[in-house]
Amino acid sequence: MTLRVLAAMSGGVDSAVAAARIAEAGHDVTGVHLALSKNPQSYRTGARGCCTVEDSRDARRAADVIGIPFYIWDMAERFHHDVVEDFVSEYAAGRTPNPCLRCNEKIKFEAVLDRALALGFDAVATGHYARVTADGTLSRAVDPVKDQSYVLGVLTREQLGRAMFPLGDTPKAAVREEAARRGLFVADKPDSHDVCFIADGDTRGFLRERLGPAAGPIVDSTGEVIGSHDGAYAYTVGQRKGLGVGRTPDGRPRYVLSIEPVSNTVTVGSREMLEVTEITAERPIWSGLRVPPATPITCGVQLRAHGEAYGCRVVLDGGRIRIALDRSASGVAAGQAAVFYDGDVVLGSATISAAT
C-alpha cells in the first residue's frame, strides 16, 4: 500500500537516507525540515545541530537529490515552549532533563505528527535508529552503538503506530555508505551530539543567563557545609568536576548526590553513596503492553541515553512506579527517563523522580 509519508529531514545523513528509503519503497514522501529557532544563528552553527540555516539547506538539497517535495515548517514557538523552557524549568526544579527525548515526544511525534495527519499524511518518518515491530511496539536498533530507542521510549502506542524508522535494521556505517552511493552529499557530515539550542555548548552559562545567580550551600552527606554554589541548577547528579569544595574532611573526592531546589542545597558525598538500587518514577507510558501490568514484572531498564541496561523488578504503586535494580547503578538523576525493555522490545517508560 502506498502511504503518504512526511519525512522529517534535519539536514543530516540519517534522515536523508531514511527519506530516500521510503521514497524508494514506493511511498509518496514529502520532506519537511523543522525550523526550531526564530533566529537560527542563536543555535549551534556548522554541521552539528539540527536548527541552522546550513542544515536547512542541506536538507533541501537532499530532498532535491531524492526527488521529493520539500518544505520548512516553523516549529520555533512550540519548540521554545515545550523543549527549551521545559529544559530550563526542569533544571530549576533540581532535575536533569533530556531535551532530545522531549523533542521527540512533543515536537516530532506530537506537533508535527498532528499537523501531518490533519494535512492528510499517514505517517511521520525520521532517521532514528530504532525499529517498530509488526505488532506496533518499539524495539532497539540492530546497531547497538547507535540505538536510539531510549529517546523514543516516551512515545505512546498511538504515536508509534504513525512512526516509521527506516534505519533501525542497518548499522550506521552502512547508512553512510548508502548515503554516498545515493549521491547524498551529507554522507560525511559529523553526527550531532550536544544540545542543539545551546549555541556554544555551555549549558551552565545558558542556565545562568536564564535563571540568574542563586547562591546556596554545598552540603556534605554528614550535613556539614563544605562549600557554596551560585546556582544549584548548574549541577547534575553524579557530577564530580567543578564542585569547588576544595579539600574535603576525609580528603576523598565528592560527587553530587542530590539537588534540593527549595532550600537551594547541593548535597555531595562519596562515590559509594552515588550507588542506588531503588528508583521511584512517575507518569508511566506502557507502549509495549496492551494494558498496564497488574502484577510486578521483571524486565530490563535503561536509565540514561547510551547507558547500560539493568535487570529490575517493577512494582506499580498507584500512579507511581517503584523499580528495584538487580545491582546498583550510579549517577541516577531525577528528570531522566527510565525505559523498560523485554530483551530488545520497549515495554514502556517513566520519569525518574527519586533514587536511593
Partner 1 sequence: MVYLDHAATTPMLAQAVEAMTAELGQVGNASSLHSSGRRARRIVEESRETIAAALGTRPSEVVFTSGGTEADNLAIKGLYWSRHRADSRRRRVLISAIEHHAVLDPAAWLGESAGAEVTLLDVDQHGRLDPETLRAAIGDDPGGIALISVMWANNEVGTVQPIPELAEIAAGYGIPLHTDAVQAVGKLPISLSGGVDALTVSGHKLGGPLGVGALLLARGVADPVPVLHGGGQERDVRSGTLDTPAIAGFAAAVRFAVEHREATAARLTALRDDLVARVRQAVPDVILNGHPGDRLPGNAHFSFPGCEGDALLMLLDAKGVECSTGSACSAGVAQPSHVLLAMGADAVRARGSLRFSLGHTSTAADVDELVRVIPGVVERARRAGVG
36/333 with CB nearer partner 1: 36
- How many residues at the interface with partner 1, by CB under 8 A? 20
Phi and psi at residue 80, in whole multiples of 5°? -60, -45
Give the one residue of 21, 78, 95, 102 binding partner 1; rule: CB under 8 A: 78
Q: Which of 127, 115, 148 is nearest to 58 (CA)?
A: 127
102-121 footprint of partner 1 as x/- string (CB under 8 A): ---------x---x--xxx-
Least spacing, CB of residue 28 vs partner 1, in Å:
8
Among candidate residues 50, 51, 100, 196, the one labeled active-site is: 196
Concerning whether 312 is annotated as a catalytic residue, the answer is: no
Instruction: Please give the Cα distance from 192 to 50 (Å, whole number).
Output: 7
- Residues in 119-138 at the binding interface with partner 1, rule: CB under 8 A: 119-120
32/339 with CB nearer partner 1: 32
The helix, strand and coil proportions of the chain, stated in percent and rounded to the nearest 5, come to: 30, 30, 40
69/244 with CB nearer partner 1: 69
Least spacing, CB of residue 75 vs partner 1, in Å:
8
Give the one residue of 21, 27, 33, 304 binding partner 1; rule: CB under 8 A: 33
Task: Verify binding: residue 187, partner 1, rule CB under 8 A.
Answer: no
Q: Which of 49, 55, 52 is nearest to 41 (CA)?
A: 52
Task: Show Cβ contacts of residue 17 under 8 Å, excluding neighbours closer than 6 positions.
Answer: 127, 166, 167, 175, 178, 179, 182, 184
Task: Verify binding: residue 69, partner 1, rule CB under 8 A.
Answer: yes
Task: Verify binding: residue 76, partner 1, rule CB under 8 A.
Answer: yes
Instruction: Please give the Cα distance from 25 to 70 (Å, whole number).
Output: 18
Least spacing, CB of residue 71 vs partner 1, in Å:
5
Task: Verify binding: residue 81, partner 1, rule CB under 8 A.
Answer: no
DSSP bridge partners of 35: 74
Strand 70-74 to strand 28-35: parallel, antiparallel, or no bridges (unpaired)?
A: parallel
Q: Which of 145, 146, 141 is nearest to 131 (CA)?
A: 141
Q: So which residues are the catalytic ones?
A: 103, 196
Write out the residues near partner 1 by the rule CB under 8 A.
Answer: 30, 33, 35, 38, 40, 53, 56, 60, 69, 71-74, 76, 78, 111, 115, 118-120
